[in-house]
Structures are given as C-alpha cells and as structure tokens.
Structure 1
Amino acid sequence: MKKLLSFFGGIIIIMIVLIICSSNLQRKSGAKTAANTLTIYNWGDYIDPELLKDFETKTGYKVNYETYDSNEAMYTKIQQGGTSYDIAIPSEYMIEKLISENLIEKLDHSKIKGLNNIEPQFLNLDFDKNNQYSIPYFWGTLGIVYNDKLVEKAPSHWSDLWDKKYANNLMLVDGAREVIGMGLNSLGYSLNSTDINQIDEATVHLKDLTPNVKAIVADEIKQYMISDEAAVAMTFSGAAASMLEENDHLHYVVPTEGSNLWFDNMVMPKTVGNKKAAYEFINFMLEPENAKKNAEYVGYATPNAKAKELLPDDVKNDKQFYPEADTMKNLEVYKDLGKEWLGIYNDKYLQFKMYRK
C-alpha cells in the first residue's frame, strides 16, 4: 500500500512540475508574442494594406489589425479593456472623451519623429491641447455631393436640400450628430448647440425635409451615388472622393455657412501592450512618403504638409477636399457634449427617423 501511495505521489509531483514548466513556457511565449506584435484598432478600409506590409518588413513586427464602424463601438471595447490595443484612431470628440476618462496614454514627444511635418493649423486643437495624447492622421469635412445629370443648379447650402425638386432624391448619412447638426447649421445655429429651443427648432425643420429623403444609410451611400440612384447626398469628404473617382458627373461642395470639420488622430489606449512598436508606427505614418501613399489610397485629406506637397497638383489644389480659408473659418469640430446632451441629440434624431416612416 505504501509503495502504491508512493507511486501515485511521484506521478502527482511530476504532473505539478510539468504544469509549472508549461505555464512558464506560455508566459515566455506570450511575452515574446507581445514584444513582436503591434495591435491596431482602426476604421474599416482606413489604411493602405501595403503600408502595413511595409511596416512589418521594415520593423520585424507582426501587425494585428482590427476594425470598427463607429467611435462609440471603439470606445466601448477600449473601455472594457479586453484587448491590448497599441494604436487606435478615434475622432476628435471621442479623443476628448477618452482623455477625460483616462483611457488613453499621454505621449512622450521625445520618442516621436516627424511631428514637424504636420501643418500647424492641425496641431494644438481644443480637444487635445499641445497634442499630449494624439497625433493627426486624417482630416476632412461633411458636405453635399450632387450629380450634374440629375441637378440643374448645383446646391451650395444646406438649405438647398429642402427644395421640393429633390423629392425622394436625397441620401443622408445615418448619424445623429451629422443630421441634427445639418438641421442646426441650416438655421444658422452651431452644430454643437446645447440650447434646447434651437435643437427643437432644428428637429421640426428636419421633419419638413422628409419628403426629399430617399434613404438614410452608411457606406452604401457610395454605391447609390455612383450608380446615379439619387441626385444629392450628405456625405463625408473622403467618401465623396471615392464617388468622384467612379462617376465623372458627381461633385462635392462644403456649405460655406457652416458644417463639420473633423479630425481622426492616432492614440495609444491605456491597454497598450507594446509602446515601443506603437511609437515606431506613429513615426512610420508621419514619414511624408507613407502619409502621401495613405492619402492616395484612402482619399481623405492629409494633415502632413510634406506629404501634401508630394501629391499630384490636381489633388492638393482641389478646393473640394482642401477648402479655402473663407470656408474653413465657418467649420466646426464636434465637441463632446456629455451623456445628457448626446442622449437628447439621439432622441431628436430618432424622432426624425420615426416621423419619416
């Protein structure tokens, strides 16, 4: 009996040793994997895939690339902290929110090379003073794309979209801030308004727009416009650029009275597992040649002055996507209005959508 107990005792000891060894190997393997991997969380189709391959070749890191379709989806996953994202690319109002909730890292500018390539007008903005937490990636506008085959006179103001000639011929981006903001701008108000009377007035005004609305969609808006299925649409500048490439009859305008000026910047979430790789990626994307290549692929405006110089003349001089100062001065960046006001915007937008039905 004692021999039997001794035998089983020996087996148990061996098993414990094997488990400890296996655990140590897994920890070492995990550490090695983390040290050689860069995990990026970004919008879909928002980087030239060739650049990711170039980065892997140049640095030896393996890139894990995950995507999201809204700032809110990105925020939820970063807040939960289940994945160690090294780089994320949120928009300005969400960066402001992430900073306030201590969900992103303060950057060490001594490790960043090429920040001087960024145009000064895109640095030190209100949502991130002195760029302590974020580095510019792309910027753009919200405007109107129209089809000259289906439109006699080009629209140039948000108020033009209420014209009865666009009955069942208008496409809208599916977004509360965008649609309510358009309603506010069309009445001469700020798209960041926290005046409930102004927001109510804009909501009522938007109800008058519903006979013109053919559909409220997301990325599908590109194909609708390319296929001549609507005369006009509200869309973002980068999406418009893609449409214009596919259909010569499409044109993009930014309402001079006011619209959204947006920025997407690179940040490091608090869950960052590989800061060294994250800094190398930021520096890689700040290199003019890489920023230029990315701008050509994605279609949005680059904040990188040296990269812009490398772009073809017909691109960098295109006022549709690089507006003049007179237009830029009336554009507004979305602010983080807080949970209460965001809820109001969402409720008013839902009322508009329900009324349309």
Structure 2
Amino acid sequence: MKKLVVALVTLGLVIAGLLVWNHQLMAKQSAGATGSKTLVIYNWGDYIDPSLIKKFEKQTGYKVDYETFDSNEAMLTKIQQGGTRYDLVVPSEYTVQRMQKEHLLRKLDHRQLPNLKYLAPRFLNQSFDPGNQYSVPYFWGTLGIVYNDKLVAHPLKHWEQLWDPQYRNQVMVYDSARDMMAIALITQGHSVNTTNYGELQAAERKLQGLSQNTRAVVADEMKMYLKQDEAAIGIAYSGDAAEMMDVNPHLHYVVPTEGSNIWFDNFVIPKSAKNLKGAYAFMNFMLEPKNAAQNADYVGYATPNQAARKYLPKAVTHNQAFYPDAQTMKHLEVYRDLPKKVNQEYNDLFLEFKMFVK
C-alpha cells in the first residue's frame, strides 16, 4: 500500500513538473513572438520592397514579422477586437482619424524620429492629424482617369468626359462608394466630404447617367482589362496606373484639374504595440532618403520624402500625373472620417447606382 502511495505521489510530482515546464516553454515562445528583437508590421499587400526588410534586419538585428491586409476596414476591425500584437500599422488618412477618435493609437515622440526632416512640409500637418501627433506619411497618391490612346480619339482631361455618349460601354468603374460618389460630387461643385444628403442624392442621380457608359464595376481586375486593351477608360489610383502604364505604353493617367482625392497612407503605432524602440527604428529607416526612393521605385506610388526625389528618375518626379503641379494640388481634397450614418448613405446610394449597371 505504501509503495502505491509513493508511486502516486511521484507520478503527481512528475505531472506537475511537466505542466510547469510546458507553461515556461509557452511563455518563452510567446515572449519570442513579441520580444524586443521582433518587430510586427501590419501593412497592405505588396506595399514594400522586400529587400528593404532584409536590409533593416541585417542593419539592426531585429526580426520583422510582416502581415498584410486588403482594406482599411478589415485592418480596423482586427485592431478594434483587441489581442493583436502589431507594432506598426499603415492605415489611410480617414482611418488614422477614426483610430485616433477611438483611442487606438499612441502619440508619437518626434524626438525619436529625426528623419522626419526629410519629409516635404506640404505633406505634414494634414487635417486628419494636425501636427502629425499620431502618424508619419508613408506614400501618397491621387484618384484619376486611365485611358488608352488606341481606343480613345482625344486625350481625356476632365471627369465630365466620362459621361460622353461616345464612350458607351467603355468605362471601367472602380468599386468604391467613396471614390465614385466623390467624382460625381466634384462634377457638381461639391466637396468630397459632404454630409448633405440632398447633395449625395444629386450625386447618385449623376452616377446613374454614367451607367450606359459603364462596362463593369470592378476592383483590382481593372488593371488586367486595361493592360490588355480590353477597355478604353478606367478610374484608378495613381500607383495602379503606374503599374498598368509600365506594361502597356498606350495607357495614360490624368488627374482632372477641377479636383480629385489626394490620399495618404501612414505609419502609426497602435496602443497595443510591444516593441516601441523597434517601431521608431523602422520608421527612421524607411525615412532615409535612399531607402524611401528605393521603396517608391518598387511600389510605384509617390513618396512624400523630399530628399528621396533626387534618387528617383526625373521622368517620374517631373511627371505631373504622379507629382501634380501646385495648381492641381490646390483642388485635391483629403477624405475625412465621416459619421457612420453618412458612410452608410454613401454606400446605399452607390449600391443604387450599381443596380443600374447592366
């Protein structure tokens, strides 16, 4: 009987020891995932030169854990749910504003960002983040028109030309309520951030008139159609346009001078971040002019880094489609974070337009 008791006690001690060992092992693994030498970045897909990540790791000794998202909304939902381990995230301007309102971001210590000096002043202190208290510009771009000179007789310059009857069934419309409503609002002289429901209704009626010219309402697949000469005209972001033009020399990109959207994607540090030192190190690394230029060359979007421009081809930096002149810039608007009710109105009205497209 005593032997049985001793055996049971011994077995209990062994099991207890195994449980402690397993707990310690899991703790070590968890620490390894979020420890001081691991930097967790959450960014858009294919939105950084992979060789720069390797260069950063080699220079600093950090290990980068890189994850991607495909929309601001998907990223925001994940952050809102909590439990994430991201040290750096790259939201667009209106999402920065929303994250700030919801107290999801850390205030930045500019003393740890000496390379902010390389950014052009005109890209700082934007309305969505006065004083850049929470965000550092990463890339910027515009919304415009891509057209094929083999299929379009005359260069396009204005949004209103999209409604021309000669382009029946030739316009690829981007599947974005905010962008398409913005185009209709601009043609009617209204702000892309209007909350006036009457103006929104009028914009939707304007879009209905575009339905006859609309070939399809698409997202990323638009690039395939335009690259392969399967559509004459498309509405696109500047970086996507650059990618298409690299493949098809008959494509051209224009930002209508009467106005458009100018957008910014930005580095921010979530409140849940663990590796603050690494986050600041990475932002400073990406702000180094040569690194910023290399990244802009890879991604195809415009860099806000003034010092980086001297390392880019003049054919790029002097191209007003991608680096618009001061006069055009005056008419570009940044999207603001709108109330949920108004966002729903934009979405509902755009859905009504899509129902008219055959």
Q: Aligning the two structures, in what range does the TM-score lie when normalised by the shorter sequence?
A: over 0.9
Matched, 1:286 2:297: no
Paired residue for 2:341?
A: 340
Matched, 1:21 2:21: yes
Once structures 1 and 2 are overlaid, which stretch shifts more, 269-278 or 222-231? 269-278
- Are the counterparts in 2 of residues 93 and 335 from structure 1 also a CA contact under 8 Å? yes
SS of the residue 1:314 aligns to: helix
SS of the residue 1:172 aligns to: strand
SS of the residue 2:315 aligns to: helix
Paired residue for 2:265?
A: 264
- Are the counterparts in 1 of residues 138 and 267 from structure 2 also a CA contact under 8 Å? yes
Return the offset for 1:34. 1.9
What whole-Å deviation, never above 9, does each CA across 1:70-103 have from its counterpart, x for those lacking one? Answer: 1111111111123211111110000000000011
Paired residue for 1:178?
A: 179
How do 1:228-243 and structure 2 match up within 5 A? 228-243=229-244
What whole-Å deviation, never above 9, does each CA across 1:282-335 have from its counterpart, x for those lacking one? Answer: 111000011000000011000000001211111111111000011000110000
- Are the counterparts in 2 of residues 136 and 303 from structure 1 also a CA contact under 8 Å? yes
- Are the counterparts in 2 of residues 171 and 213 from structure 1 also a CA contact under 8 Å? yes
Question: Equivalents in 2 of 1:44, 1:30: separation in Å?
Answer: 26
Question: Equivalents in 2 of 1:303, 1:270: separation in Å?
Answer: 25
Unaligned runs of 5+ in 1: none
TM-score by length of 2: 0.97
- Are the counterparts in 1 of residues 216 and 357 from structure 2 also a CA contact under 8 Å? no
How do 1:1-357 and structure 2 match up within 5 A? 1-35=1-35, 36-357=37-358
Question: Equivalents in 1 of 2:29, 2:207: separation in Å?
Answer: 57
Question: Equivalents in 1 of 2:69, 2:31: separation in Å?
Answer: 26
TM-score by length of 1: 0.97
SS of the residue 1:114 aligns to: helix
- Are the counterparts in 2 of residues 113 and 286 from structure 1 also a CA contact under 8 Å? no
SS of the residue 1:268 aligns to: coil
**Aligned AA (2:23):** S
Return the offset for 1:336. 0.4
Question: Equivalents in 2 of 1:171, 1:303: separation in Å?
Answer: 29
- Are the counterparts in 2 of residues 141 and 254 from structure 1 also a CA contact under 8 Å? yes
Q: Give the count of matched residue pairs.
A: 357
Once structures 1 and 2 are overlaid, which stretch shifts more, 274-283 or 325-334? 274-283
Question: Equivalents in 1 of 2:173, 2:47: separation in Å?
Answer: 21
**Aligned AA (2:336):** K
**Aligned AA (1:335):** R
SS of the residue 1:126 aligns to: coil
Question: Equivalents in 2 of 1:84, 1:22: separation in Å?
Answer: 22
Question: Equivalents in 2 of 1:244, 1:32: separation in Å?
Answer: 43
- Are the counterparts in 2 of residues 301 and 321 from structure 1 also a CA contact under 8 Å? yes
Question: Equivalents in 1 of 2:17, 2:226: separation in Å?
Answer: 65
Q: Hey, which bits of structure 1, 4+ residues long, moved more than 6 A?
A: none
